[in-house]
Structure 1
Amino acid sequence: MTTSLGRLRRMPGWTKVVAALVLVLVVFFAGIRLSVLPGLKDLFGTETRDRSGPALLQSIQDMSRYDAASGNFQVVVDLEKDARFLPDAVRGTRTLYVGAGTVDAYVDLGQVGEDDVTVDEDRTTATLRLPHARLGKPALDPDRSYAVSKQRGLLDRLGDLFSDNPNSEQAVQKLAVRHIGEAAKESGLTARAEHNTTGMLTGLLRSLGFTRVTVTYA
C-alpha cells in the first residue's frame, strides 16, 4: 500500500490532468446531474445578461391586405435520425417536439382595380369582385412550443460538448412549421376569411347608404 501511494505521488502533472479528465467524462456519461449533489447546482449557477444592441429599422412596407381570419394549430413532431451500421446508443438522435403556431388568411385588396367595382347611378347598388383569400406564412409561437424529450447517441453527446448551439431545435421547428402550413390548407381557413371579408365590406357600404351589396371572388 505504501509503495502504491508513493507511485501515485510521483505521477507527472500531465498524467494527473488526464486522469481527472477521464473521471469527468465517466461521471458525465453515467448520467449524474448536478441536482443530485446538494448545493452544487446553486454554486455553479449561470447568470444571463442581455447585451444586444438596439433594433434597427431596415424598411417600411405599406400593407393593403385585410386579415380576415386566423387559425391556431398544434402539432407533435417526432423526428428520428439514424446512422448506417451504428446502433442508436452510439450515433443517432430522436426528438419529440410540440409545436404551436398560427396561420392568417387574408384578402389582398390592393389587387382590386377600377373594373372590379361597379356602382349604379343611384348609388344604392354596389358590386365588388375580389381576389380569393390566401394563407400567410405559419408563425411558430415560442412560448407555446417546447421539446418533450431528446435522445442522443454517445457521439452526438460528444459533438454537443463542442458545438456553439448544443440545444438547437431548428430541424424540428422547420418541420413543425411545415406541418402547420399543411394543416391550414385543409382547415377551410380561406373560406372563412372570404366570408368575413364579405361581411365587413357589406356592413361598411350599407353604412354609406348602399342597400344592395354583392361581393364575389375570382
Structure 2
Amino acid sequence: MTTPRRVLPTRVPGPAKALIALVLLLAVLFAGIRLSVLPGLKDLFGTQTRDRSGPALLESIQDISRYEAASGNFQVVVDLEKDARFLPDAVRGSRTLYVGAGTVDAYVDLGELDEDDVRVDDDRTSATLRLPRARLGTPALDPEHSYAVSKRRGLLDRLGDLFSDNPGGEQAVQKLAVRHIGDAARESGLTARAEANTTEMLEGLLRSLGFEEVRVGYGG
C-alpha cells in the first residue's frame, strides 16, 4: 500500500511578500483612479446622494443701514503648485489649476450719519449731505461658476487622500481665489462707482421732495 505524500506549503520569502503587498496596493489605488476618470463606471455601483440636513435655524436679525450702490463680478485663474524638497513631483507634490468667479459689493453706510452731516436751509430748498466713504464688502465666491480645470498630485498625496476626510480638497485654491478677487476689487474703482450711484440716488430722492439744490460730499 502506497503512503500518500504530504505536500508542504510553499513559503513566500519576506521581500516577495512586501512586493506583492505593494502591487496589490497600487492595483487598488489605480483602480480607484480609473473609476474616477472613466465616465459611467461609478454608476455601476448605484451610488445615491441623500440630503439628510435638518432645517435652518434663525439665530439673529440685524438691521442694515447700508446702501448697496455697486457690485462687481470678477474671475481669476489660480495656478497653485506645492513641491516637496528632495522628492520628484510624481512622488510628492501637487498642482491645481482653478477658475474662481465671485462678486464684491460696494456700499455706503448711511447709519453713520449724525445731525451735523445733514444741513437744510430755512426755506427747505437746499440740502447738503456729508457721507462716509464707500467701502467694499467681503468677496463672495460663486460655487456654480468656479471649478478646477486640472489637478495633478503625486503618489504620496493620492495615498493621503485615502485617509482624508476631504480628499482632493480645494480650500487652498478657493481662499487664494477670494484673496485675488478682493485685490482686484480694490483696484477696480468700484468704490468710486458706488459713491457716484449714491449721489445720484440721493439727488433724485431729495429733488422729488421739493429740494432745488442738493450737494452730496464724502468724508475721509
C-alpha separation in 2, matches of 1:37 and 1:178: 34
Alignment of 1:85-100 (within 5 A): 85-100=86-101
Task: Flag the 1:216–1:36 CA change in 2: closer, same or farther, 3 A.
Answer: closer
C-alpha separation in 2, matches of 1:37 and 1:202: 61
Which residue does 2:64 correspond to in 1?
63
Which residue does 2:129 correspond to in 1?
128
C-alpha separation in 2, matches of 1:38 and 1:204: 58
- 1:25 deviates by 2.4
TM-score scaled by length of structure 2: 0.86
C-alpha separation in 1, matches of 2:72 and 2:144: 17
- 1:29 deviates by 3.3
C-alpha separation in 2, matches of 1:38 and 1:182: 38
Task: Flag the 1:31–1:116 CA change in 2: closer, same or farther, 3 A.
Answer: same
C-alpha separation in 2, matches of 1:110 and 1:27: 61
Task: Flag the 1:54–1:144 CA change in 2: closer, same or farther, 3 A.
Answer: same
1:188 and 2:189 are equivalent in the alignment: yes
Task: Flag the 1:37–1:30 CA change in 2: closer, same or farther, 3 A.
Answer: closer
C-alpha separation in 1, matches of 2:20 and 2:82: 34
C-alpha separation in 1, matches of 2:202 and 2:40: 65
C-alpha separation in 1, matches of 2:63 and 2:46: 47
Q: List alignment gaps of at least 5 residues for structure 1.
A: 1-5
Which residue does 2:204 correspond to in 1?
203
For residue 132 of structure 1, give the secondary structure of its aligned residue in structure 2.
coil
1:46 and 2:54 are equivalent in the alignment: no
Task: Flag the 1:212–1:52 CA change in 2: closer, same or farther, 3 A.
Answer: same
Alignment of 1:55-204 (within 5 A): 55-204=56-205
1:23-58 deviation digits (Å, cap 9, x = unpaired): 362253388623888975332131100011111111
For residue 122 of structure 2, give the secondary structure of its aligned residue in structure 1.
coil
For residue 175 of structure 2, give the secondary structure of its aligned residue in structure 1.
helix
TM-score scaled by length of structure 1: 0.87
Quick one: percent identity of the two aligned structures? 81
C-alpha separation in 1, matches of 2:200 and 2:215: 10
1:140-161 deviation digits (Å, cap 9, x = unpaired): 0000000001100010000001
C-alpha separation in 2, matches of 1:107 and 1:31: 52
Task: Flag the 1:70–1:210 CA change in 2: closer, same or farther, 3 A.
Answer: same
- Counterpart AA for 1:113: D
For residue 123 of structure 1, give the secondary structure of its aligned residue in structure 2.
coil
Q: List alignment gaps of at least 5 residues for structure 2.
A: 1-6
